[in-house]
Amino acid sequence: MSEIILPMWAIAAVFLLVAVAYASVGLGGGSSYAALMVVFGFSSLSIPNLSLLLNLLVTTVSCFNFIRRGHLRIDLIAPFIVLSLPMAWLGGALQVPEQVFRLLMALSLVVVLVRIYAWNNTAIAHRFSRRQVVMIALALGAVLGFLAGVIGIGGGIFLVPAILLLGLGDMKQAAACGVVFVWLNSLAGLISRSQYNFVDFSNYLPLIVAVLLGGTIGSLIGSSRIESRSLEKVLGLVIVVAVVLLLRSLLTV
């Protein structure tokens, strides 16, 4: 706790905005929470556990709001979670060097920026067979589950655009699948990591309250007909700063 460079209430305010923006599009925000915690001086041992917990809290609220509005398709999400859960458990049991952790964070955030500013929700014209879709879903789920356990992200930043790119569902359905996917992987990764690395979450109550509030607001926006693109673009500005600071930390070590 002594290494943190900002008051916890200030960090909580930032996390609230991040949670609103991510939850509005069916994401948990784990990649941004983890990156910002690196920038703010949190211990590298606590970051994955705390990021997974915050992911879990945001998507718990989001799951409720998206599911009750009928956006979740079990047939769409099922192939993605078959291998993601055991791989999230495996990833949670691993410890990666801090510099590798920071590099993975930076790369994840670059993907988020591409999604926000350069991707226009276009789908591939090619029609995939059911067998091809299942194979793609199994492979992608395994990779994203592993990343969830290792670095504390839920994988939604990759899953939601993949569903839309492959033409498997609309934005609301993709977002609903994203929050369920993130929730399940975050739970599996957190349980696994907690066996080897205990973190006292009572030290981070302001962050927990902030993301719960942000997740509630964001999921209500995302599951309704309100346009959430403007929120994403505001979030993008925060992410740009986080990427720059992360890359700077990598170059100065």
pLDDT in tens, 79-101: 999 999 999 888 888 777 777 77
| pLDDT tens sequence across 156-189 | 777 877 887 777 877 778 878 888 888 888 888 8
Model pLDDT, residue 12? 93
Model pLDDT, residue 252? 66
Residue ranges of the chain whose pLDDT lies below 50: 2
Residues 179 and 215: their CA atoms lie apart, in Å, by: 11
Instruction: Tell me the DSSP string of 12-45.
Output: HHHHHHHHHHHHTTT---HHHHHHHHHHHT--TT
Model pLDDT, residue 126? 59
Model pLDDT, residue 232? 61
CB 203 within 8 A of CB 3: no
Average predicted confidence (pLDDT) for the chain: 80
**How many angstroms separate the Cα of 84 from the Cα of each of 78, 144, 155, 181?**
10, 7, 10, 9
Domain ranges, ordered by start, for the chain:
8-252
